[in-house]
């Protein structure tokens, strides 16, 4: 976290969970006057709002509430549903962060005359001088690092963003900090992966939103029909369980084709590949060439992650067509999934990322 305070007010995204609570405590100890902002993505003023307001009271900080459900529905929920219908696997957090969460944080801070914004994400931000761009770095805790989710944030956000948890070494350290300060949510469980689907059943959620789901054919790698599937929204690349039928030996989803409503199944070895194509590149640390691979990284070995939970692997990035990247991995990667982000690092520094197409 930056040491120089030119304005000691900060607007913090306060969910009521232990991470944003710890962020508030650390900011207060640094001398900031913290205001907590709860973003209600469902617009129902549910129990989460009450929990966040209770935490704000225990922290002795001001509390604000904002209903962002309409924007969240348009930019995240509908995107999420359409993606599955189109045969791709979305990443709602990558979509939400620039379009909703940090967008609303910065606009609300501007309305209040507050310069700094903050969240409980595990990542770090640096810049070498006032003239240089701001860079995202991995968190000290590589296990909890969330830099992958932040790669589409622009310089206007990064230049005023504080991420105090990035300097901590573990989630246990975060919980202990909150417990020592006597805040009641120290042992609160981490939030689920998809915040707007409470029962984890995303297929029923999509159908209940009015999207069509039609059964179709399972194909083998030769294009031969080998069975029937329940509808492409039920499947993602690499999936083995819950196929709805057995085939005598383990089969994995290798391809999903919405044009003819088919799902191709193959063996485990069919999931691996070294070449990935991606579009919508965004190079976080290079604001003037956000869609163009910076010269210093052309054909240079970087580390790339094909999904949030995947380990970083050595790769070289090529850009022959505007807005399209070709990534060549040194070692084959398992279950490259269209719709997920591929994110690039130079050591601990996040360079940028793109959306996997094939």
Q: What span, in angstroms and rounded, lies between the C-alpha atoms of 117 and 195?
A: 22
Residue of 60, 81, 93, 96 marked catalytic: 96
Q: What is the pLDDT of residue 195?
A: 86
Statement to judge: residues 261 and 276 lie in one domain: no
Statement to judge: residues 317 and 252 lie in one domain: no
Statement to judge: residues 232 and 348 lie in one domain: no
Clarify whether 195 is annotated catalytic.
Answer: yes
Residue 337 lies in a domain: yes
Statement to judge: residues 233 and 348 lie in one domain: no
Statement to judge: residues 98 and 240 lie in one domain: no
Residue 209 lies in a domain: no
Q: What span, in angstroms and rounded, lies between the C-alpha atoms of 191 and 13?
A: 15
Q: What is the pLDDT of residue 106?
A: 97
Q: What is the pLDDT of residue 288?
A: 65
Clarify whether 93 is annotated catalytic.
Answer: no
∠ CA 137-144-205, nearest 5°, is 110
Statement to judge: residues 87 and 221 lie in one domain: no
Residue 192 lies in a domain: no
Q: Could you say which residues of the chain have pLDDT below 70?
A: 1-6, 129-132, 191-193, 287-290
Domain boundary among 233, 266, 299: 266
Statement to judge: residues 293 and 250 lie in one domain: no
CATH number at residue 306: 2.40.30.10
Our count of domains for the chain comes to 3
Chain segment 196-251, per-residue pLDDT in tens: 887 889 999 999 999 999 999 999 999 999 999 999 999 999 999 999 888 989 99
The backbone torsions φ and ψ at residue 172, rounded to the nearest 5 degrees and listed phi first, read: -60, -40
Which of 147, 142, 140, 149 minimizes the C-alpha distance to 167? 140
According to DSSP, the residues that pair with 125 across neighbouring strands are 136
0.85 cut: is pTM over it? Answer: yes
Q: What is the pLDDT of residue 300?
A: 87
Per the structure, the complete domain to which residue 240 belongs is given by 214-266
Q: At what angle do helices 18-29 and 171-180 cross, to 10 degrees?
A: 70
Q: What is the pLDDT of residue 284?
A: 84
Statement to judge: residues 280 and 150 lie in one domain: no
Q: Which residue has the tokens 């120089």?
A: 4
Q: Are 225 and 237 in contact (CB under 8 A)?
A: no
Statement to judge: residues 118 and 167 lie in one domain: yes
> Coil, strand or helix: which one is 198?
coil
Statement to judge: residues 159 and 254 lie in one domain: no
Statement to judge: residues 232 and 316 lie in one domain: no
∠ CA 234-239-243, nearest 5°, is 55
């Amino acid at each position: 976290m930056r040491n120089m305070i030119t304005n000691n007010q900060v607007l913090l995204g306060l969910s009521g969970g232990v991470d944003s609570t710890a962020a508030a405590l650390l900011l207060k100890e640094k001398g900031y006057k913290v205001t907590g902002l709860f973003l209600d993505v469902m617009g129902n003023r549910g129990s989460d709002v009450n929990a966040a307001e209770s935490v704000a009271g225990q922290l002795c900080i001001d509390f604000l509430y904002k209903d962002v459900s309409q924007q969240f529905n348009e930019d995240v929920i509908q995107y999420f549903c359409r993606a599955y219908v189109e045969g791709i696997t979305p990443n709602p957090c990558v979509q939400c962060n620039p379009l909703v969460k940090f967008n609303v944080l910065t606009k609300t801070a501007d309305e209040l005359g507050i310069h700094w914004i903050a969240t409980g994400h595990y990542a770090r931000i640096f810049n070498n001088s006032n003239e240089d761009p701001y860079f995202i770095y991995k968190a000290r805790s590589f296990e909890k690092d969330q830099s992958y989710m932040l790669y589409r944030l622009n310089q206007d956000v990064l230049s005023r963003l504080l991420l105090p948890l990035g300097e901590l070494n573990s989630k246990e350290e975060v919980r202990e900090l909150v417990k020592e300060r006597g805040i009641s949510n120290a042992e609160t469980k981490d939030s689920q992966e998809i915040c707007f689907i409470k029962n984890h059943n995303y297929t029923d959620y999509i159908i209940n939103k009015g999207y069509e789901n039609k059964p179709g054919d399972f194909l083998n790698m030769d294009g031969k029909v080998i069975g029937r599937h329940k509808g492409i929204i039920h499947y993602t690349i690499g999936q083995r369980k819950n196929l709805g039928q057995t085939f005598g030996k383990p089969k994995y989803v290798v391809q999903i084709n919405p044009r003819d409503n088919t799902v191709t199944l193959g063996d485990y070895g069919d999931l691996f590949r070294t070449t990935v194509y991606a579009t919508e590149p965004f190079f976080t640390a290079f604001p003037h060439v956000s869609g163009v691979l910076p010269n210093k990284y052309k054909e240079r070995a970087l580390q790339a992650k094909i999904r949030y939970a995947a380990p970083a692997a050595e790769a070289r990035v090529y850009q022959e067509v505007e807005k399209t990247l070709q990534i060549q991995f040194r070692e084959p990667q398992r279950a490259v999934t269209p719709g997920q982000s591929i994110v690039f690092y130079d050591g601990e520094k996040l360079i940028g990322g793109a959306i996997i197409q094939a």
